[in-house]
Structure 1
Amino acid sequence: MQKDILEKAGEIIKKDQGIFLEALTNQEKTTLIHALRPKYKLYQLLTSIDIPKSSYCYHKKQLALPNKYNYVRVQIIDIFKVGKCLYAYRWIHASLKNIEIILSKKSATYNAGKNLVAKSIKMRKYSSYDGEISPVVPNILK
């Protein structure tokens, strides 16, 4: 049973440092128990992973709930595309405020996610060269 727990933990959680069951969060422990539930009884899993049943039930319920920011993510992606992927969280937050979606800057940044990275404009070396100076062209319209 302990071997199965560690193998499933490695598959589900995918931590680089290795799996240490005591260091896992209750949410990670809940996903692990949920994956092993068809094979073992709940009581056995709870005692071997060392999580209270109340914590397990709470996190199971939380995982079943939909994300409360799903409607905002769609709006944020649209705003980001309208801005031609040039504007970051401040502009996104101001645009959300304009369409009367009240959200903190921190939540706007978090919900923008890692996929929405603003393009940086490449800095060019300053050059005062304007081209060759040519003589004045005569006015042929007169």
Structure 2
Amino acid sequence: MTAEMTVDYSGTWDIISNVNFDGYMIALDNDYATRKLAKMLSPQKVIKQEGDSFTIKTVTAFRNYECSFTIGQEFTEVTSGMDNRSCQSVVTWDDNKLVCVQNGQKKNRGWTHWIEEDQLFLELTCENHVCRQVYKRKP
């Protein structure tokens, strides 16, 4: 059975924890003011999944970010809202996890999403920093 048949990422997810976001933003070369503002935000993820095609919107009071991709197909991603860099990204399935590798100016950059019960987990990686976020699905 394929992963997309067993896991449905679609829905609206509210953040409930955010560990080492500052370290991750430092690795992205974000300035102090940007980091301070970003730490005060409570992002919400809105995910639309249709088979292997995804649109993930990150919504905050300050700025929104949208990323659309198809599993296994490389795409050019501009990480507006984070560090505004362009990178070549590809998302693949690893069991029931979505794994994104972002090739660009920063080393070891990417993210992994997975679901456990009614929680969405996100690990953001850049260089030697890992940020761990947890979201809860809205009813």
Structure number with the bigger relative contact order (C-alpha 8 A, sep ≥ 6) is 2
Q: If each structure's strand is expressed as a fraction of its own residues, which one has the higher value?
A: 2
- TM-score, length of structure 2 as denominator length: 0.20
Which structure would you say has the larger Rg?
1
